[in-house]
């Protein structure tokens, strides 16, 4: 899988300690996805990660020419299946 990180995404995932392997896991085998309510070309991918506080990784990306362009990624404590926010 080919990933392209925006400058914002590269900065934020580095600061948040998120690995590209975690991002790939969310993109290839998400627990659920939702369309982004603000931008219809973006998709939110959610993946539960084995972290002590039970947070869910949210990756916001768009498909471009056979690759995923990652806009941002963060651990979302409030994410619940069926909720878009």
pTM of this prediction?
Answer: 0.87
Model confidence pLDDT, tens digit, residues 21-79 = 999 999 999 999 999 999 999 999 999 988 767 789 999 999 888 899 999 999 988 77
Judging by beta carbons within 10 Å of its beta carbon (0-12, 13-18, 19+), is residue 51 exposed, middle or buried? Answer: exposed
CA 10 to chain centre: 12
N- to C-terminal Cα distance for the chain? 27
CB 42 within 8 A of CB 6: no
Residue 85 confidence (pLDDT): 46
């Amino acid at each position: 899988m080919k990933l392209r990180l925006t400058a914002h995404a590269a900065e934020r995932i580095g600061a948040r300690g998120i690995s590209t392997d975690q991002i790939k896991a969310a993109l290839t085998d998400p627990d659920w996805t939702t369309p982004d309510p603000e931008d219809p070309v973006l998709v939110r991918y959610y993946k539960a990660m084995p972290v002590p506080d039970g947070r869910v990784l949210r990756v916001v990306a768009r498909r471009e020419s056979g690759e995923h362009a990652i806009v941002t990624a963060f651990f979302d404590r409030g994410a619940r299946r069926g909720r878009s926010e």
